[in-house]
């Protein structure tokens, strides 16, 4: 078993971005909007700020109270859209229940959409022309970068994706499909999940359920990508039982230190790309 070291790859991407940013007169600016005080979201935003600093990107965090109205949030995004000094905007999800997530995502100028969530960007991305879309969803793009970094062949493989969200499951399935994998997407309504996961050459798990995947659900030699983040006290666990599955897998991502850091690195990659455009 070998580790797919996301921390190491993120460091490499950040160093490359730093070089690109140092050549630019005007530094890219990432505006992050955080509504409420969800502890996990606060940690993510802080970490993104630290990564920005390392890459020479200016980050601005707008911390808004949990009872911020949808109207007020839309007005803030509109202001950021118009602000010529802001290169990219990221609204930290999840949002409080009284705010319509779709409305907020659609209000972000597609030319400043750091997360590739806007339907215009997501649509271009799904059309399988990755060069044509300016940005890519950060987590899926990070996963593929990680596989490429370790020279894992994707073409011809059977990839099983567990989870079908717009930010992970669907776009990662799309990226793997674009690279020639045969892709099966499983989710909470899938009957007999193990029958599918056992077929996976590449298994991507993004369900948010600790220990969902155990060793008896994985084929020997499989490549296992654990996207899950489950907070237990101050510790973080993935969706895969790392102890047992790592004995069967040929490659596996650790949690923490796998998909998480690469996701942030790719968010900054999107930011630099948007600044250049």
Minimum CB distance to ligand NAD smaller for 134 or for 229: 229
Minimum CB distance to ligand NAD smaller for 168 or for 272: 168
Q: Which of 5, 48, 124, 219 is catalytic?
A: 48
Q: Is 206 near ligand NAD (CB under 6 A)?
A: yes
Q: Is 193 near ligand NAD (CB under 6 A)?
A: yes
The one among 55, 57, 259, 272 contacting ligand NAD by CB under 6 A? 259
With H, G, I as helix, E, B as strand and everything else as coil, classify residue 111: helix
Contact 259, 146 (CB under 8 A): yes
Q: Which of 5, 112, 113, 115 is catalytic?
A: 115
Supply the minimum distance, in Å, between the C-beta of residue 23 and ligand NAD: 28
Written as six digits, the tokens of 31 are 């505006």
With H, G, I as helix, E, B as strand and everything else as coil, classify residue 60: strand
Minimum CB distance to ligand NAD smaller for 110 or for 258: 258
- The DSSP secondary-structure symbol of 234 reads T
Contact 175, 132 (CB under 8 A): no
The answer, yes or no, to whether the previous bond of 256 is cis (omega within 30 of 0) is yes
Instruction: Assign 3-state DSSP to the chain and report helix, strand, coil percentages, each to 5.
Output: 40, 20, 40
The one among 45, 62, 162, 267 contacting ligand NAD by CB under 6 A? 162
The one among 199, 208, 215, 248 contacting ligand NAD by CB under 6 A? 208
Calpha distance 4→146 (Å, rounded): 7
Active site residue 115: yes
Calpha distance 258→149 (Å, rounded): 13
Q: Is 202 near ligand NAD (CB under 6 A)?
A: no
Q: Which residues are catalytic?
A: 48, 92, 115
Residues that bind ligand NAD (CB under 6 A): 139, 162-165, 167-169, 186-188, 190, 193, 206-209, 212, 227-230, 259-260, 263
């Amino acid at each position: 078993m070998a580790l797919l070291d996301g921390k190491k790859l993120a460091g490499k991407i950040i160093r490359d971005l730093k070089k690109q940013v140092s050549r630019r007169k005007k530094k890219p600016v990432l505006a992050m909007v955080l509504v409420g005080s969800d502890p996990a979201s606060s940690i993510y935003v802080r970490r993104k700020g630290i990564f920005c600093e390392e890459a020479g990107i200016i980050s601005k965090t707008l911390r808004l109270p949990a009872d911020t109205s949808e109207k007020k949030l839309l007005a803030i995004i509109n202001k950021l859209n118009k602000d010529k000094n802001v290169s990219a905007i990221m609204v930290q999800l999840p949002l409080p229940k009284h705010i319509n997530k779709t409305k907020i995502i659609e209000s972000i100028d597609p030319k400043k959409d750091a997360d590739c969530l806007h339907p215009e960007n997501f649509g271009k991305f799904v059309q399988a022309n990755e060069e044509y879309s300016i940005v890519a969803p950060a987590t899926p793009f990070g996963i593929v970068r990680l596989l490429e970094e370790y020279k894992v062949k994707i073409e011809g493989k059977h990839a099983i994706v567990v989870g079908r969200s717009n930010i992970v499951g669907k776009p990662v399935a799309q990226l793997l499909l674009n690279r020639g994998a045969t892709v099966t997407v499983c989710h909470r309504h899938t009957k007999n999940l193990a029958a599918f996961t056992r077929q996976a050459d590449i298994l991507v798990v993004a369900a948010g359920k600790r220990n969902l995947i155990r060793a008896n659900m994985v084929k020997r030699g499989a490549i296992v990508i654990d996207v899950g983040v489950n907070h237990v006290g101050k510790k973080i666990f993935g969706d895969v039982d790392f102890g047992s599955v790592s004995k069967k897998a040929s490659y596996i991502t650790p949690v923490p230190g796998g998909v998480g850091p690469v996701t942030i690195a790719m968010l900054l990659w999107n930011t630099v790309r948007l600044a250049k455009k």
